[in-house]
Amino acid sequence: MKRKDDDLLRLAFGELAADSARAVEARTVGDASAQADLEAMRELRAGLQRLPPPPPDTLSAERLRAAILDRELRSRRPVPFFAWAWAPVAVAALAAVLVVSRPALKGDPQVVANPSVLAFNRGEEAFAAPSFDPIEEPIVSSQAAPSEATRSRATVVRASEPAAPARRRSAPRRRRSRAVDATRIQVPTGDLFAIEPRTQNGDPASAFTVAAKEPDVMAAPTSSVVEGGPYSGGPESVVIVSSKRDLDTGARAATETEASNVFVGG
């Protein structure tokens, strides 16, 4: 029965060879139901061929291009989730590179001497803190320790205006290696410092070294100020305060003398 149906279907759709088609048609001559089936299948085929074409489309090359571009962009945009796993590794590698390349951690630790501490941390609390800016002024490191610095005789420097109050602020560690502009070095009035040019490896940034002097004779900064103008070398009195203390009273010895009797200079 199934074979018969299949033959009828093939015959109705014109897929049987000529002799096979004639044989199948001959078999259906005396069979009314077979003829009805064959007729129904032929109508089916005709109905399929009568199906009208689809409505006109609105497709266009531009639309396709936009779709392809959109798909390409979308396929490139997403980052795989596991890619984020590399972020900590990258941060760790960067940190390792920074630690290894830091010179301060290489070899012996560097001893940094603050000249202001060297000069004033000797018990002379009567002295006002000098206007020494650790940021703006060079700091002598172990390579240029005060013991190696060239020393000279004490120099009394007189200025036309009183010393500015000390600006103390804690300098960040990273600024120690800052290049120093020699023209911006401020010498505090009355402070016992000798500033001598030095050259280390021809580097102009390290051309100056500030070294503390032995406080044999110190002059009070205020007494050296002459009202009305700079010091002119006239017969004025100068108070010389000795750094040595009296054994009985503990006070320092002060001697008032004429300015002409005081040796000024190196």
Using DSSP's 3-state secondary structure scheme, residue 194 falls into strand
Query: If we measure between CA atoms, which residue out of 32, 44, 33, 41 comes closest to residue 7?
Result: 41
Distance separating alpha carbons of residues 22 and 9, to the nearest angstrom: 14
The smaller minimum CB distance to other proteins, of residues 58 and 183, is found at: 58
Q: According to CB under 8 A, which one of 23, 36, 40, 97 is a site residue for other proteins?
A: 40
What is the C-alpha separation between 37 and 42, in angstroms, rounded?
Answer: 9
Ramachandran region, residue 47 (left: φ > 0; alpha: ψ -120 to 50; beta: rest): alpha
Report residue 264 as tokens. Answer: 């000024």
Among the residue ranges 3-11, 97-105, 136-144, 178-186, the one whose residues contact other proteins (CB under 8 A) = 3-11
Q: Closest distance between other proteins and the C-beta of residue 27, in Å?
A: 18
Q: According to the binding rule CB under 8 A, does residue 36 interact with other proteins?
A: no
Rounded to the nearest whole angstrom, what is the least distance from the CB of residue 82 to other proteins in the complex? 24
How many residues of this chain bind other proteins (CB under 8 A)? 29
Best CA proximity match to 122, nearest among 17, 243, 247: 243
Q: Is 29 in the site for other proteins (CB under 8 A)?
A: no
**DSSP character at residue 171:** P
Residue indicated by tokens 């760790």: 92
Which range, of 5-13, 145-153, 184-192, 204-212, touches other proteins by CB under 8 A? 5-13
Vertex 209 angle, CA 205 and 215, to 5°: 160
Per CB under 8 A, the list member of 23, 36, 64, 239 interacting with other proteins is 64
Answer for which of 18, 30, 49, 263 binds other proteins (CB under 8 A) is 49
Angle at Cα 113 formed by Cα 107 and Cα 118, nearest 5°? 155
DSSP alpha helix (H) spans, 13-52: 18-27, 32-50
The reply to whether 21 sits near other proteins by the rule CB under 8 A is no
CB of 203 to other proteins, least distance (A): 57
**Is 118 within 8 Å of 130 (Cβ atoms)?**
no
Tell me whether residue 78 or residue 165 sits nearer to other proteins (CB atom): 78
Token couple for 231: 């010091």
Q: Does 68 bind other proteins (CB under 8 A)?
A: yes
Pick the binder of other proteins from 19, 57, 248, 256 (CB under 8 A).
57
Q: Which of 20, 39, 63, 230 binds other proteins (CB under 8 A)?
A: 63
For other proteins, the closer CB: 43 or 246: 43
Q: What are the residues binding other proteins (CB under 8 A)?
A: 5-6, 9-10, 13, 40-41, 43-45, 47-55, 57-59, 61, 63-65, 67-68, 71
